[in-house]
Structure 1
């Protein structure tokens, strides 16, 4: 189970850049009505791009709760880039947590597949009917300027698409514009499975 513990800071959203991208005027009486619409549209675009790429654009805190390690020699983290792992804790069957000494684990940083590694041979054993809890900060940075330029452009293009078709009902996977998909291509992690499909 992956939990977002730190909400996205509204001040970090590029509302003015999005307004300029849409060529909306300013100083009109409806500016205060457009603000929430632009913010909601940007949030939707950021969420869609993060879901499609597994990359967190604006830094936030997350908790990954696992009943067992996928591999005791290294637990992959589902999001990237990971700036830091702030805590590894073991939760017992009663829900009580105890922090694991940071000297017993380390972060193998990677832009696509970060991994929490043990300092020794294996990560500490998870208690019966308990869980391992990894708290970490993921994202390119706290402000919009830290996000790579192609991902910033993808957000603006997708948000503009959502804004344009905001009354068209649910927009599914097929609604991702080709230009946005092209910008996201280099950021999608390659997953090899049966048949070598990405």
Structure 2
């Protein structure tokens, strides 16, 4: 299984100014914009860390899942949530020839932790022998920072602030503080039965 992020979070979607306000950085200086690039990098790093811990895409963007076999012939759990829409399902044979599956043959089963691609009225499309299937989908809470649940937004700000505070301490082991871990706990995806289709 390979999950590919097709487009990164847009710079305009990141709350750089709000994060700088959170840090209480001074204003009115000639180089007010000098901290923007650093603030953006801390936000991106914190966003990635929170997403990894929770299995959630915080800001909406496009992904492609590439697999060689369905976990179940009827339904396949997607590795990140929440999924907003399935863009396409494409079958590729061993030679690489592609066939786009009719959207009437599958559906999205929405779930805050384990969204699933399911066969519409039957089995999922058969993957060609030696081939793959590519599922293109959009995942995230929304395109704007205002769409992000407040506890996750706060966790990102707190972690980004820790990165900012310890920016000169190279090699220091970064661990998530208890406060941040508590904020994200309800969003963590607890996998049972080896993370199978269920």
Q: TM-score with structure 1 length normalisation?
A: 0.93
Aligned to 2:135: 134
Tell me, what secondary structure is at the counterpart of 2:134? strand
CA RMSD of aligned residues (A): 1.4
Change (3 A) 1:3 1:171: farther
Aligned-pair CA distance for 1:100: 0.3
Equivalent residue for 1:84?
Answer: 85
Tell me the equivalent position of 1:182.
182
Query: How far apart are residue 129 of structure 1 and its match?
Result: 1.7
Q: Secondary structure of 2:107's partner?
A: strand
Query: Which whole-Å CA distance do the structure 1 matches of 2:172 and 2:138 have between them?
Result: 30
Is the aligned partner of 1:32 residue 2:33?
yes
Distance 1:32 1:89, change over 3 A: same
| Equivalent-residue separation in structure 2 for 1:106 and 1:8 (angstroms) | 26
Distance 1:38 1:70 in 2: 41
- Gap change, CA 1:170 and 1:64, over 3 Å in 2: farther
The aligned runs of 1:1-198 (5 Å cut-off) are: 1-170=2-171, 172=173, 175-193=175-193
Q: CA deviation at 1:95?
A: 1.9
Tell me how far apart the structure 2 counterparts of residues 170 and 63 of structure 1 sit (CA, whole Å): 34
Q: How many pairs are equivalent?
A: 193
TM-score by length of 2: 0.93
SS in 1 for 2:146: helix
Q: Pick closer, same or farther for the CA change 1:171–1:43 going to 2, 3 Å.
A: farther
- What residue ranges of structure 2 are gaps of 5+ in the alignment? none
Q: Which runs of 5+ in 1 are unaligned?
A: none
1:166-191 CA-to-partner distances (Å, cap 9, x unmatched) read 2222565x511111000000000122
Q: What secondary structure sits across from 1:47 in the alignment?
A: helix
